[in-house]
A = this chain, B = another copy of it.
Amino acid sequence: MQTLIQSVLALQNGHLQSLDVLLDGQYIHTVAPAGTLSASPDCQTIQAISGQDKLLLPGFVNGHTHSSQVWQRGLIPQLPLELWLANVFESTPRQLEQFYWGAVSTAVDTLLSGGTCLLDHAYLIPGQELETIDALVRGYKAVGIRAVIAPLIQDLPFASGFPAGCLLSQAASPRSAAQLLALMETIIAEFHDPDQSIYIGLGPTGFHRCSDQLLQGCADLSQQYQLCYHMHLLETRAQQRLAQERYGISAVQHLHNLGCLGSRTSLAHGVWINNQDIDLLATCSTTLVHNPVSNLRLGSGLAPILQCVQAGLNVSFGCDGAASNDAQNLLEAIKLGTILHTVTDSDYEHWLTPEQAIVMATIGGAKGVNLSDRTGAITAGMEADLVLYNLNHPSLLPRTNPLQLLVLGRPTEVVEAVWIRGRQIVDQGRVLTVDTHTLHRALRQHPANSEAAQTHHHLVEAHYRQVMLRS
Contact = CB atoms under 8 A, between A and B. Distances in A.
A410 B327 contact: yes
A126 interface: no
Nearest to A91: B400
Interface residues of A, number: 59
A293 B258 CA distance: 41
Nearest to A446: B398
A105 B298 CA distance: 34
Interface in A62-111: 70-75, 77-80, 83
A448 B400 contact: yes
A335 B237 CA distance: 24
Count chain B CB atoms within 10 A of each CB in A75, A329, A343 and give the residue with the most. A343
A422 to B, nearest CB: 28
A80 B343 CA distance: 11
Interface in A392-410: 392, 394-402, 404-405, 408-410
A296 B471 CA distance: 31
A253 B96 CA distance: 62
A299 B348 contact: yes
Contact of A296 (B340, B404, B412): B340
A398 B348 contact: no
A73 B402 CA distance: 10
A408 B326 contact: yes
Interface string A450-461: 100000000000
B296 A342 contact: yes
A379 B4 CA distance: 59
A400 B74 contact: yes
A166 interface: no
Interface stretch (A181-189, A203-211, A436-444): A436-444
Contact of A450 (B297, B329, B400): B400
A180 interface: no
Contact of A399 (B398, B399, B446): B446
A336 interface: yes
Interface in A268-306: 293, 296-299, 301-302
A346 interface: yes
B392 A444 contact: yes
A329 B444 contact: no
A302 B343 contact: yes
Contact of A397 (B293, B342, B347, B440): B440
Given A73-B405, A400-B75, A342 B298 contact: yes
A353 interface: yes
Nearest to A402: B74
Contacts of A191: none
A296 to B, nearest CB: 4
A468 interface: yes
12 contacts: A72-B400, A73-B397, A74-B404, A74-B408, A296-B336, A297-B339, A297-B342, A299-B348, A326-B409, A347-B469, A397-B440, A400-B448
